[in-house]
Amino acid sequence: MKTKHSLVIGLVLVLLFSNIASAKPKITVWLTYGGTIGKVISDLIHDDFTPKTGIEVEYVPMKASPFELMTKLILEILGGSAPDICFLEGYQVIELGMRGVLETMNQFSDYKEIVNRFYPGFSGQFIYNNKVYAIPGESGWTQSYVRTDIFKDLGLEPAVLWDDLDKIIPKLKARDKDFYYENAMGYPRAYMAFLFQRGEDIFTKDGLKSNLDSPEAIKAFKTYTSLYTKNNIPVAMPDIQCFVSGTVPYMVHLHYIYGLIDNIAPQIKGKWAPVHTPGTKRADGKISNAIPTSSFAYVIPKIKGRSKENKEAAWEFLKWYTSAETVAKIQKGFFEGPDKFILMFGTKESFNSAKFLPEHRNLISEVLEQGVKMTSIPGGFSTYRYIDFAFNRVVLQNENPETALKEAAKDSTQELERKRKEFARFLKDM
């Protein structure tokens, strides 16, 4: 009897430990998608990811501002209850990564295979000191649009160079029309196209100082602000409505406008098109149409005491989530929703499955191939504020652009120096 009893106990223990050993971890994922599109992702996880991997996922839609989300994440990390995956703004990644609170993506053996899915202009934003702290999520870029029907009637062509706008804008204004450049009241992304096309950046190559006082940066800023001071284009306006009505038949905006135009204005189908953003002729005679690209980020927060299995499960989720098959399903679900969102997720395959009109695909592909990443360095986001100040001083207060930008360069460099001292203990260990 004792032997039989022992065998039963042994069998129970074997089964118990076997189940424990084979049990898959459960991970928590914070993304900002709620409502209809949140359900698209949640259903895909339930119907596809979990059956394939056995990994359970608690999907949490986080409806919060970028600052609120980062603050909440920091508090959860400190409390030891952070999610396994979180969605952040691109500029926040390096600030957190250098503090040692994010896992590096290039620790995983198949990282190179996964990162090759992405356009460099989207994935490069999350690298600092050869450590990769995120992979791209929903991605964005600067994109120009023109009402082809109106331009044909007026005998106009989209600008090849920024200087061409000096002739185009007066002709539009003479017919009570205008050109618009989306700048969010000076947000630095709008300045970046002018700068990137000259082969420059807002920081020096070593990332230690502002590059805003360089000759090329100043030339770029003068060209940018002259749109408002010389050609008197509007600083803000109801852009989509004006494009649809034809009062603004030419604009430089962001990628997401594409889907909105196609969705809300079927009456102008075939009468508009995306075009290259005006370019800059370089010293070798070639024209650069470089535009800034950026991306939201997926990160794996470091959690004290988290099992290796959970970390690996989080990486498995990100590999699945950014795969061509999954992205295509997400894009289809978003597009079939009430808002008909046309989004891209930084991968080359996501461009192929995005719901762009066939006649526009080649142009958008060319635009993306010239995309340049927004640079991230510790404390670098403060530089954006100084560019914003300089823009407002020139456009709203009629200050000299060179004077305003040099002041921004000085303030930015001082701020970067302060941040390096503040972050010294982190940088020393990187």
pLDDT, tens digit, 9 for 90 and up, residues 264-284: 899 999 999 999 999 999 999
Pairing of strands 250-254, 179-181: parallel
Burial tier of 12 (Cβ tally within 10 Å: 0-12, 13-18, 19+) = exposed
2.60.40.10, 1.10.10.10, 3.50.50.60, 3.40.190.10: which CATH number matches 142-292+378-427?
Answer: 3.40.190.10
pLDDT, tens digit, 9 for 90 and up, residues 191-218: 999 999 999 999 998 888 999 999 999 9
Q: Residues 112, 322: contact at Cβ < 8 Å?
A: no
- Top mean-pLDDT range of 38-42, 73-77, 144-148, 179-183: 144-148
Distance between CA 390 and CA 388 in Å, rounded? 5
Matching fold, domains 23-139+294-373 and 142-292+378-427: yes
- List the beta bridge partners of residue 146: 250, 273
Query: Tokens standing for 232?
Result: 């008197």
pLDDT, tens digit, 9 for 90 and up, residues 172-190: 999 999 999 998 655 678 9
Instruction: Give pTM, 2 decimals.
Output: 0.87
- List the beta bridge partners of residue 54: none
- How would CATH label the architecture of 23-139+294-373? 3-Layer(aba) Sandwich (3.40)
- Residue-range domain boundaries for the chain: 23-139+294-373, 142-292+378-427
